Amino acid sequence: MEKNFPLVNGTTFCTFYSYSRKSYVKTIEFYNKFLKLKISSDSIYYCTLSNPDVTLKVILEENGQKQQQIDKQIEKLESNVSGQDWRTMVARSLVFSTDDIHENEKALVSLKAKYRHYPTELVPLIIYTIDPLGNLVAVTSTKNSVSAIRILPPDSIHIVKQAKITSINNLSSRMITSDTYPSLPKYVFNHKKSIAVMTSGGDAPGMNANVRSIVRSAIFKHCRAFVIMEGFAGLVKGGPDYIKEFFWEDVRGWLAEGGTNIGTARCKEFQERAGRLLGALHLIEFGIDALIVCGGDGSLTGADIFRSEWPSLVQELYQNEKITKAQLDKYQYLNVCGTVGSIDNDMSSTDATIGAYSSLDRICTAVDYVEATALSHSRAFVIEVMGRNCGWLALLAGICTTADYIFIPENPEPHKEWKDKMCDIIKKHRSKGKRTTIIIVAEGAIDTELNSIKASEIHRALCDKLDLDTRITTLGHLQRGGKAVAYDRILATLQGVEAVNAVLESTPDTPSPLIAISENKIIRRSLVDSVVLTKSVAEAIKNKDFKKAMSLRDCEFIEHFNNFMAINRADHHEPRLPPSKRLKIAIVNIGAPAGGMNAAVFSMATFCMSQGHKPYGIYNGFTGLARHESVRALKWLDILGWESRGGSEMGTNRATPIDADIGMVAYYFQKYSFDGLILIGGFEAFTSLHQLERARDSYPAFRIPMVLVPATLSNNVPGTEYSLGADTSLNSLVQYCDVIKQSASSTRDRVFVVDVQGGNSGYLATSAALSTGAQASYVPEEGMSLAQISSDINTLKQSFQKAQGTSRSGKLILKTTNASEALNAKKLADILTVEAEGKFDAKSALPGHVQQGGNSSPIDRTRATRLAIKATVFIENNQQKIKSGRDSNEEFELDNEDYMETACVLGIMGSQVVFTPIHQAFEYETEVERRMPKRIHWSEIRAIADHLVGRKRVDDL
């Protein structure tokens, strides 16, 4: 079995440029073997290699002249016969920490690479070698790696981020409650720093959550918190109307508010040095020495320029007698950090920007509405969405709504052929019986000659060529409005906490950081490098280098694009695979219904059709199979519209194969000759996969690749940190909580105790508490101690006494149903009312099955598509691994390592999508009786949720 931990860690993300096909291939092989990095995505022009902590991207840009320079560099180093230390001959080196330095040395021997030891060959602390691109790369057995890399590296290597990766799980360790911390922090005189936050550029849902998090985190860390009104314009104008100190209560209720309460504005003055000089003066006047900017690439570029010019600006202010010598000495440096607020999701090196998924949610809701009227009249609708240089919104909306065609700037349409190409696809869809046509076009859509493609042109083509009744819907600024969805609230909050940590830890030599997210991890990137990469996409499009534009987008963007193209061709084109490789693949839903189940079934089925496989649905779970032989071939027309629907169209129940009759299940598997099985569901599906895998020795029909796509609002499946349905459920719960919190605030002195589903998992309650600003949450993992309840009551008393009936004084308490057997939500509310001594009263609220949600959220739809397609590819790739066990008449080796790796849980762990063998997950990572994983990946964010509302934890005191 492979190790469960990465062999190397250190520098988080590097992009290498190779200038010949030969060196490109050699580089991939080198890092695959030397650092034991797996190839996570691959194409003709780029390749990504990674483990959970390190990601390297190799991009091919053939250039003979630059390749000659690299060859000379390699020759110079390798021909060094004098024994001169390689480190003295290069400007930089890239160093990683390793778990086993001797494993890396063996890899170098197998690669026949030249390398050197330090200090001795017998006991090396570090090993240096030269990669095929001429870079000096090393591994060290010491605890921390140190990469000696310039901020502006040459063309051969582009470092996106230098700082060490920071996980969500590490954030709470920086926010430990001390005995000096009251429930509502007091003003202190010995401040560490004065931190200012501004929002700039276009507004985005979630910006208020980000400001709230920064203000309260700064106060918690004994810093003064300031806000700058109206973005850079307010910084240039200065004065108490534009630069204000904020306190704890000033940001109460901001989580649930859209837009940005501190304003944003364009500022031409700040683009000139004179404007930045005024900005520096105003920051010094207020004693501010750190600035956090939430905005897009333009705003963050301005912030980094401001930081780089800061020493000269301060010197000029002193020479002009605008500041004193004491101020000159005190404000020598300005720490700057960026959080990205943009609905376009156009910032490189982060998976998501604050506001992007809220905007996508608006688009999907609008298209779902439009689809209803389109179906009624058999109409075509052209939907224009935002996205000047980035087609992320249009692409993901296309997946979420199963659009017939999309137009995005990164993949422009053929100049003279796009109308015929579009109409051909729509004609095929209509000929199969589809009554609706949805076209989604980004506002920046172009053809290959850089001519804009307008919604009006598409409308005209559909009318003239296909005679379709067509309408145009331009969503406009509707996409920016409204409250942030739960994901954006959590993202903005966690990034705000980490932004404060970043400016407190920064030194004058630290490059300005950008707070980003990779899959499920909050990380730091280099702000300037991220901006450069972002702008290079627009430059590549301008230069008609569309392959480069696509390659510069993150791997997930490219994966989403390929997924859309695959499911879009479905049943209407010649299958990609030859008949000999076509399979029969079954899919089944197990457990409670969850958002994304239908999207996963639709995506699996349509991807199978495009590949040439035959998809089967097992209706009503294993019970339906054993009792009624409920197997149906999935047809394209029958499953249209499933992508957006909540629940489970195929039906689901909690019966496992043993419950239903595993012998009959095996009989029908054999009857239909299934070549693979995809299970979608929660802990019951997890148990079912384990039962099927363990039954392989008795039933040859189960000797096929099988994979579980976790789907449960409880998010309690071992082997993953994310389950389909959790986001849909969380959005529904957050909307419910927003409504009753508004009621509580209107009544003034009221607390609502909300009963939250989740079984033995407190994930939903914890995430909802972080998203709504709930005063407390009780979860099964911690239980409900009388000491903690007493402490929470005292905190509530203090809070209501301080509020004295002002607005927004209502409070929420969330309780997972299983957090206590003795106290349900109503009993807890009664206790709170009695103990409140008249300072407040409490009511219980039971959202019940509302928490399962309605239509699936965009996150669940897109992740369902992504995971379902990965699951299908897993079945394709693992046929040969278990074929011998399936065809052989000899005794089946149940614990054969290769066989066990053909039955896996597909999940997201940290910054990686991983396949974990079910035997390993069930035996070593699961508390079976509690139906829970042993490692609770979300537990650490509870501390952040508590600290940001001023809750004292009795175990911290």
Among the listed residues 876, 878, 920, the one whose alpha carbon sits nearest the alpha carbon of residue 719: 920
Question: Which tokens sit at 564?
Answer: 């859309």
Q: Is the dihedral of CA 254, 255, 257, 263 positive or negative?
A: positive
- How do residues 893-930 score in pLDDT, each as one tens digit? 888 888 999 999 999 987 788 999 999 999 999 999 99
- How do residues 182-226 score in pLDDT, each as one tens digit? 344 444 555 678 999 999 989 999 999 999 999 999 998 889 999
Mean pLDDT of 466-480: 92
Q: In what order do the strands lie in the sheet with 912-917?
A: 631-633, 614-618, 584-590, 676-681, 706-710, 903-909, 912-917
CA neighbours closer than 13 Å in the CB half-sphere of residue 766: 22
What DSSP state is assigned to residue 818? G
Q: pTM to 2 decimals?
A: 0.80
N-terminal to C-terminal alpha carbon distance within the chain: 43
Cβ count within 10 A of residue 472: 16
What's residue 7's pLDDT? 57
Q: Measuring CA to CA, how many Å separate 125 from each of 105, 144, 618, 622, 872? A: 12, 12, 56, 56, 44
Question: Which tokens sit at 330?
Answer: 């005190």
What's residue 12's pLDDT? 61
What's residue 8's pLDDT? 59
- How do residues 820-868 score in pLDDT, each as one tens digit? 989 999 999 999 999 988 888 999 999 999 998 889 999 999 999 999 9
Catalytic (active-site) positions: 344
- How do residues 743-757 score in pLDDT, each as one tens digit? 887 777 899 999 999
What DSSP state is assigned to residue 354? B
The domains found in the chain, sorted by start residue, are 8-165 (3.10.180.10), 171-352+484-539 (3.40.50.450), 380-476 (3.40.50.460), 570-724+856-924 (3.40.50.450), 745-849+941-947 (3.40.50.460)
What's residue 956's pLDDT? 58
What's residue 334's pLDDT? 93
Question: Which tokens sit at 209?
Answer: 């959550």
User: 119 preceded by cis ω (within 30°)?
Assistant: yes
Higher pLDDT, 16 or 289: 289
Report the phi/psi class of residue 838: left, alpha or beta, with left for phi > 0 and alpha for psi in -120 to 50.
left
- Token pair 């071939």 is found at 633
CA neighbours closer than 13 Å in the CB half-sphere of residue 38: 12
For residue 676, the cross-strand partners are 585
